[in-house]
Structures are given as structure tokens and as C-alpha cells.
Structure 1
Amino acid sequence: MSKKKSKSSSNWLKEHFNDKYVKLSLKNNLRSRSWFKLQQIDYKYSLFKKNMNIIDLGSAPGGWSNYAINRIGSKSEIIACDILPMNPILGVKFIQGDLRKYSTLKSIHQSIKGKKINFIMSDISPNISGNLIIDSLKSTNLCELVLQISIKFLDKHGFILIKSFHGTEFESLIKKIKLIFFEVKIHKPDASRSRSREIFILAKNKKNN
């Protein structure tokens, strides 16, 4: 490893373990600091209600699913999916698979069993290359995949929360979301690092496309 990469890694580790939300997640035995991002968005927009059915995409290690199941109650259901493994959470059905593959989407469909899906949330991130244009395109492609899934599975009065990255493709993505949903909001919670380009899109009320 070069001295430059070594220094960069050292700086990242120092920033990570000095992070307020990393410390809080460790103190409270949470799966990840992403718990606080969802919590803050929930406080602002009142995302969760009892007895909702939710799909959590890009769920590993389980921070969002863990937060959500505590908010919606044991009679609800969360179907979580990630290409990476995830330790079990009571009340959450986990499917490990690649969302770009038909077999994974088929497994999600079979797990729904005709239930109304009220909320689809996605904390998916692409593998970051460091090239802003490439990373923006990768992020947008994943967001568009989530949009296609929402068209297929989301109830008419349901809503989605998608993590994206502010970049060259962002405005184009927002236009596509507005073609599908009547109401679109953009939000960056305090728990999202200020230097991070991640941003969250909340969309409600599907149009009759």
C-alpha cells in the first residue's frame, strides 16, 4: 500500500471512530449509524405507522430494518433484500440476492403473497470508484431499479425513500421520479456526513401510469 493510500485510510478510520453517530450506534448496540439517518427522516416526515408492510432494499447490515420493525409492530412485515448476508431480525424476512436478477425479484414477489406494500425504502450504495461521473451514474442506475420495483410492488397510496448521490445524473433522476409520483421531497439528515454527497428522496402517491 502506498503512503498516500495508507494516510487516507488512517484519516478515514480516525474520522469514523470519532463520529458522533458511530459512537451512539456502538453505545446502543445498533447495527449501523444508518439507524439515525432513518430516525431523523422519520421524525421530520412521520414515515411509519402500525401494521405497515415494508420492503427494505440494500438492507445489510440491517440498521433500517431494525429501526422500522420497532416502529411498525410485530403484526407488520418487512421483506429485506441485499446482495450481502444479513443477520436475522425478528419480524424481518431476509432474501439474499442481486436485485438485477429475475430470481431475486421473483423471491420478493413470492414473499409478498398478495399483501399491500405501503413503503419501499432503499439505502443501496454502489461500489464507489472515486470518479464522480461514474459513481453518479452507478447510483442513478440503482435508484432507477428501485423505481421499477416500486411500480411493480408498491400500493397506490404508498411511498418510497431512496438514497441517491448528488451528481451529474441527479436532476434527471428527480424528473423520472416526478413522472411516477405526485409528491417528491429531497432531504439530507444531520446524521449524513456533511462532506458526503448522499441525499435522500421521499416520493408519495403514485400516478396512474
Structure 2
Amino acid sequence: MNVARVIFGRKQCYSTSSKGWIQRQARDPFVKAAKSNQFRARSAFKLVQLNDKYRVLRNGYTVIDCGAAPGGWTQVAAKKVQGKGLVIGIDLLPIDPIPGAHLIQGNFMYPQTQASVRTILGDRKADLVCSDMAPSFSGNHVADHARSMELCESALMFAQTTLKPGGAFIAKFLMGGSEVEFRKKLQTLFGKVKQEKPEASRKKSTEGFFVALNYLPSK
């Protein structure tokens, strides 16, 4: 027997063994808040909370969201930058249109995708490059951690080609040990590097976020 659910406008089917997951979702205040704010995912509040602390999103900013699907972070960015701001969301998966955002389907590391980004940017550079990407979970935490750090490295490589001096970088990772070396790398490129776990992150999750501020490309 399958149990159907509709969350953030997407219908999916789950076995009855997923009943506990459904009940947890129903109790989750960030799921409820996401629905009331018309965000596509509860994860949108992770960026909201990081921005409340570090002010990485401001009116007129240029923002690139790597691995944007289903679009929660892109929605937050588009609402914050408004006016003369520019938001570009990139993902391998298609993303439903988001008012105030340019969406690209593709791998952000591919030359053709980066060319599409540069076309939209014109003569701009990004104030923020962010990534909420996580690997497809294998159940092996060591392997999942390693893959998450690979995603961070890829996002950072892309950020180095698009960030303006003084810009910011945010990337999600799974804790496991090697994030220490990645943090040291960030410290050679940015004036300030912090590690955060927003309130919107689930307590049992091993995820964390690097927030790197004041990009120093010549350092």
C-alpha cells in the first residue's frame, strides 16, 4: 500500500513505513513556516537564519545559487535583493519559475553552463555564491562526507571565477573530519570564515555550513 502526500506542490508516493516521516514533517515548525511563506522547502530558513546573522543578502546584490532545486534558497535571495539585484539559480534538475530569478538547468562546473552564467551576469561579479548541495545518501557516512566535501570544493572553484573582491561564499557540508582542511583553504581566500549550524537544521543532522566573508582573490 502506498501513501500519497503533497508537500510544496509536489506529489509523491511513500510506503506505510514512511508514516513516521510524515508525522515528523507535520510537527516540524519550519515545514509549516515554509508553507505559510510559500517557500518550496523548509531549507529556505537555513539561508534566512544565516543571512540574519551575517547580512550576506542585501538590496541590489548579485547572487548565484549552486544546486538550487527545488528553489527555496533562490526564493529567499530573490526576495532580499529586489530592485536592481540579480539572482541566478543553477541545478541539474529543472526548477519551476521563480519571480525575480534567472534559472539555468545544467552542471555549474561545465563550460557551457558557466558561459550561460556569464551571459546573464554581463559585467557584474557576484556578491554571494551559495550552495545547499548534499550528496545522494548511501548510508555510509564516511563516503557521504567525502562526497559532500567534493561538492564544497566544486562550489568553491566556481565561486573563485564569479565572486567580486569582498564577496561571500556559503556551502553546506556533512561533518566527518576533512572539513577542517577545507576550512583552512577558505581562510587563505577570505578575510573571515565561520562554521554554523542554523536552528533550521535538524538536530540529528550532521550538516554544517561554512560562511566565508570578504573574498580576497589576490591573497
1:152 shift after superposition: 0.8
- Return the TM-score normalized by structure 1: 0.91
Aligned partner letter, 2:180: E
The residue that corresponds to 2:79 in the other structure is: 70
Please tell me whether residue 57 in structure 1 is matched to residue 66 in structure 2: yes
Give, in whole Å, the separation in 1 of the partners of 2:169 and 2:145: 20
Give, in whole Å, the separation in 2 of the partners of 1:94 and 1:10: 34
Is 2:128–2:167's contact at 8 Å kept on the other side of the alignment? yes
Is 79-88 or 68-77 further displaced after alignment?
68-77
Please tell me whether residue 159 in structure 1 is matched to residue 176 in structure 2: no
The residue that corresponds to 1:128 in the other structure is: 137
The residue that corresponds to 2:27 in the other structure is: 18
Runs of 4+ displaced beyond 3 Å: 6-10
Aligned partner letter, 1:163: K
Give, in whole Å, the separation in 2 of the partners of 1:44 and 1:95: 29
Counterpart secondary structure, 2:87: strand
Give, in whole Å, the separation in 1 of the partners of 2:118 and 2:106: 13
The residue that corresponds to 1:182 in the other structure is: 191
The residue that corresponds to 2:178 in the other structure is: 169
Is 2:109–2:158's contact at 8 Å kept on the other side of the alignment? no
2:201 pairs with 171, 184, 192, which one? 192
Is 169-178 or 124-133 further displaced after alignment?
169-178
2:105 pairs with 96, 99, 122, which one? 96
Distance 1:49 1:27, change over 3 A: closer
Is 10-19 or 127-136 further displaced after alignment?
10-19
1:36 shift after superposition: 1.2
Alignment gaps of 5+ in structure 1: none
Counterpart secondary structure, 2:172: strand
Counterpart secondary structure, 1:99: coil
Is 2:108–2:158's contact at 8 Å kept on the other side of the alignment? no
- The size of the alignment, in residue pairs, is 206
Counterpart secondary structure, 2:135: coil
Give, in whole Å, the separation in 2 of the partners of 1:30 and 1:62: 8
Give, in whole Å, the separation in 2 of the partners of 1:27 and 1:49: 23
Kindly indicate which of the two structures has a greater share of residues assigned to helix.
Answer: 1
User: How many percent of aligned residue pairs carry the same amino acid?
Assistant: 35
1:201 pairs with 200, 205, 210, which one? 210
The residue that corresponds to 2:7 in the other structure is: none
- 1:42-53 correspondence runs (5 A): 42-53=51-62
Superposed CA RMSD in Å reads 1.9
Is 1:50–1:73's contact at 8 Å kept on the other side of the alignment? yes
Counterpart secondary structure, 1:50: coil
Aligned partner letter, 1:98: N
